[in-house]
A = this chain, B = another copy of it.
Amino acid sequence: VQRVKPALLKGFDQEFLPHEQLQFNQLLDTIRRSFELYGFLPIETPSAELREVLTSKGAVEKEIYALSRLAAAPGEESAGRGALRFDLTVPLARYVAMREHQLVFPFRRYQIQRVWRGENPQANKGRFREFYQCDIDVIGKGKLSPLTEAEIPSVIWRLFTQMDIGAFRIRINNRKVLRGLLQSFAIPEEKAADALRVLDKIEKVDRASILGDLAEAGVAGTAAEALYALLSEKRETDATLQQLRGLGSVRSEVFEQGLKELEFVVGAIRDFGVPDSAFRVDLGVVRGLDYYTGTIYETTLIDHPDLGSICSGGRYDDLASYFTATKLPGVGISIGLSRLFAKLNEMKLLKQPARTPAEVLVTVMDSSLLTRYLSWANRLRGEGINTEVYLEAAKLGEQLGYADKKGFKLALVAGSREVEQGVVQVKKLADKSSVNCRDGELVDTVKSMLAHKGN
């Protein structure tokens, strides 16, 4: 046989052993559960979309994976019309535009799927070319209450509290405030986008670089220095709001509107029950994308700011203008779970041990008693208890070793004498203690021993 070396494709290489997969799935479950707790409904979209759909809004084409056939079929071109999605927002826009008459608005959806981006893995350490995104969005038809912008932080708050990965801060800003500030420094509209892209890096690079890049973007002198000072200072929420209110020189309409929105959203976030310790207005939150028009969010682990934002998003005016004339304002956030999981693992921040589905292993000491062993397994399964029967010929020690390695909680052990006496030994694998019970009490004994183990 000509052998091929079993290996993974570069960037498509976040693949887990079963116990890691269980931990990853547990995180997925927590996220799904939190989203459902707030009335979000699931959708999934196909992995590949029409190329013109994916690129309608403009996209980094060299990072998009196009599909073609490995070999051309007769009468068909090998190059196809499809490409893999690079985010969950464009598919959502296409989905809502296609189905706007079938959906109930405000449309609250969650979507947890893989996306693909042909970024250079060297240049982006810890990033993958295939990774999970976990998104929620609320889409209105024609209108959407600003209260929704305040609800999103309450979802983030509950989710990360649930995840139990340490103190975090949801950092909030408003794009209109930022645009108004640029106006007030007499930075013309056509330079604003470039300036914001520079300012988006304010927490990652030093003052000199930011000022240099701003100058290159056409913003220099006092304006640049004042902008830098405003956006890089850290204050409490109310102090920041007061500071903004006191900016006497700033009198643009868009700034006033932004400040009003920000004050409203902060008040409502408190109404939603998010404690001040978990969120803060931070003018240094910029978000690179032009897409956002109102409130914007980033979320940082307080003890691990270097990890960057673990959950980001914002308010936008129109989700699907490239697909439909219907105005669809919305607000949404996204969690890049693959990278987050890798980092949490690396930093040992995942406190909850993975729930293993392995509950009971029925060992086989005497194969002539197989029918009895199998009947025990079926009784336990009938009660919803995950039960495996060890089917290979092996010594008891080997079977118990297997149970240990796979993380079983209990093992049933019975030889011909026990079976004759109608007795089963139930072994707790964590501490090797065991209980003998009557055949008829097996289910109750197992149930209480599993509950005892905090199941």
Contacts and interface: CB of A to CB of B under 8 A. Distances in A.
Nearest to A95: B15
Contacts of A158: 381
B386 A36 contact: yes
Contacts of A62: 69-73, 78
Contacts of A95: 6, 15
Interface residues of A, number: 114
A402 B273 CA distance: 25
Interface stretch (A46-54, A418-426, A430-438): A46-54
A118 to B, nearest CB: 5
Contact of A6 (B10, B53, B73): B53
Contact of A388 (B97, B108, B374): B108
A203 interface: no
Contacts of A22: 41-42
Nearest to A5: B323
A14 B46 contact: yes
Contact of A9 (B48, B140, B321): B48
A167 interface: no
Contacts of A116: 47
A147 B391 contact: yes
A148 interface: yes
B66 A67 contact: yes
A41 B73 contact: no
B17 A370 contact: no
Nearest to A54: B70
Interface of A: 1-10, 12-18, 21-22, 25, 36-39, 41-53, 55-56, 61-73, 78, 80-84, 93-95, 97-99, 102-104, 106, 108-109, 114, 116, 118, 120, 130, 140, 143-145, 147-148, 151, 158, 268, 271-273, 320-325, 357-358, 361, 370-371, 374-375, 378, 381, 384-389, 391-393, 402, 405-406
5 closest A-B pairs (Cβ-Cβ)? A39-B388, A61-B71, A12-B46, A18-B41, A36-B357
12 contacts: A12-B82, A17-B102, A21-B43, A22-B42, A39-B358, A39-B386, A55-B70, A62-B72, A65-B67, A67-B67, A145-B393, A158-B381
